[in-house]
Amino acid sequence: MKGNIKVNEYVLKALIWLSAIFTIGILLWILLYIVVNGIGVINWEFLTSTPREVENALWPMIVTTLYLVALSLIISTPIGIFAAIYLVEYAKPGKIVRIIRFATESLSGIPSIIYGLFGMTFFYMVFGLSFSLLSGAITLSIMVLPNIIRTTEEALRAIPNSYREGSLGLGASKLRTILYVVLPSALPGIVTAIILNIGRIVGESAAVYLTAGMVPEVPTSIMDSGRTLSVHMYLLASEMIDFDTAYATATVLVIMILVINLTANKIGLFLNRKRNI
């Protein structure tokens, strides 16, 4: 009997190690394969010219991606934070809270293609918006809204009530307490979440393709259509006339995500230290 158990244990231990190796291995394989194949194509011209000047250059795509990120965050961050404040600080537990919570949970479960479907037809039907940054930004904002609400909520709830009580006890109004005491303390968590959502927006392609379009030029207004890096990546992957550019675009995307993740980590640590929490 004891012998059997020993063998089982070894098998399990081996499986555990193999799984971990598989996971890390796949990550390394994907990253290295793409970067090794793509890094050769990337140079300053490639990144900063338009496709008219240099074949398949990325500048308009990079700008469109940044615009879209900025626009989506401008829309979704205030709404998300305010909604979370309402949920944590004002709402009385009961039906209203449950409805709002159910709504945000459901929103986060919807596949991105449905957002694309919705954005493509709804905004045109109701507002007359065709392919545009605005259409894409609103769609993306709705997509990240649940996440911002949830993480802000958690960050707010993590603030001990003693902070609130102390502030109120000293005579500050509820609103002042929230704005000057609770919110600043919750900031590290909120900022980290926002930065991670940037990563999600950058990586989104299905919903963006159908709402912001695919025009490979620098957008001059929010009503213009534009092509983000991810959409460009999809077009390259399905066209694949130019393997090199596809690898290079993938490399740029991967590096962007890496930088975003690292920044989120660093900012989170920095803000935490600053707060002396």
Partner 1 sequence: MKTFSKKSVIMLLILIALTALSSACSTNQETTEEGGLSGTITLVGSTSVTPVAQELADAFTEKETGVKVEVQGVGSSAGIKASVDGSADIGMSSRNLKDEEKELGIEEHIIAYDGIAIVVHPSNEVSDLTAKQISKIYKGDITNWSEVGGKDAVIEVISREEGSGTRGAFEELMGLESDEGTLVKQDATISDGNGAVYASVAQKETSIGYLSLSYLDEQVKTLKADGVEPTVENIKAGTYKVSRPFLMLTKGEVSDATQAYLDFVFSPEGQEIVVEEGVISVN
Partner 2 sequence: MIKIQQMEEKKKNSRKFDNKLNAKPNKFWTGNKLGSIGAKAIEKLFFISAAIAVLCIIIITIFIFYRGTPAIFEIGLKDFVFGGEWKPSGKLYGILPMIMGSIYSTLGAIIIGVPIGVFTAIFIAEIVPKKFVRIIQPAVALLAGIPSVVYGFFGLVVFVPIIYKHIGGSGNSLLATSLILGIMILPTIISISVSSINSVPREYKEGALALGASHINTIFKVILPAAKSGILAGVILGIGRAVGETMAVILVSGNAAIIPSSLTDKLRTMTGHIALEMKYAMGLQEDALFATGVILFIFIMIINLILNIMTHKVGE
| Beta carbon nearer to partner 1, 24 or 158 | 158
Window 204 to 233, contacts with partner 2 (CB under 8 A): 204-206, 210, 230, 233
| Beta carbon nearer to partner 1, 35 or 129 | 129
Q: Are 251 and 47 in contact (CB under 8 A)?
A: no
Structure tokens at 236: 């390259």
Closest CA to 272 of 180, 186, 144, 206: 186
Q: Site for partner 1 (CB under 8 A): which residue of 34, 35, 38, 67? A: 67
Single out the segment in contact with partner 2 by CB under 8 A; choices: 40-48, 49-57, 112-120, 215-223: 112-120
Quote the least distance from Cβ 89 to partner 1, whole Å: 14
Q: Site for partner 1 (CB under 8 A): which residue of 37, 39, 50, 86? A: 50
Fill in the per-residue mask, 172 to 211: x = in contact with partner 1 (CB under 8 A), - = not in contact. Answer: -------xx--xx--x------------------------
73 part of the interface to partner 2, by CB under 8 A: no
133 part of the interface to partner 2, by CB under 8 A: no
158 part of the interface to partner 2, by CB under 8 A: no
Q: How many residues does the chain have?
A: 277
Fill in the per-residue mask, 32 to 71: x = in contact with partner 2 (CB under 8 A), - = not in contact. Answer: -xx-------------------------------------
63 part of the interface to partner 1, by CB under 8 A: yes
**C-alpha to C-alpha distances, 5 to 78, 79, 213, nearest whole angstrom:** 57, 56, 60
Q: Site for partner 2 (CB under 8 A): which residue of 71, 137, 181, 194? A: 181
List the single partner that 14 binds among partner 2, partner 1, none, CB under 5 to 8 Å by kind: none
List the single partner that 185 binds among partner 1, partner 2, none, CB under 5 to 8 Å by kind: none
Single out the segment in contact with partner 1 by CB under 8 A; choices: 25-33, 76-84, 102-110, 161-169: 76-84
161 part of the interface to partner 2, by CB under 8 A: no
Secondary structure string (H, E, C) spanning the chain: CHHHHHHHHHHHHHHHHHHHHHHHHHHHHHHHHHHHHHCCCCCHHHHHCCCCCCCCCCHHHHHHHHHHHHHHHHHHHHHHHHHHHHHHHHCCCCHHHHHHHHHHHHHHHCCHHHHHHHHHHHHHHHHCCCCCHHHHHHHHHHHHHHHHHHHHHHHHHCCCHHHHHHHHHCCCCHHHHHHHHHHHHHHHHHHHHHHHHHHHHHHCCHHHHHHCCCCCCCCCCCCCCCCCHHHHHHHHHHHCCCHHHHHHHHHHHHHHHHHHHHHHHHHHHHHHHHHCC
Report the interface residues with partner 1, using CB under 8 A: 48-50, 52-53, 59-60, 63, 66-67, 70-71, 73-74, 77-78, 81, 124, 130-131, 179-180, 183-184, 187, 213-218, 220, 224-225, 238-241
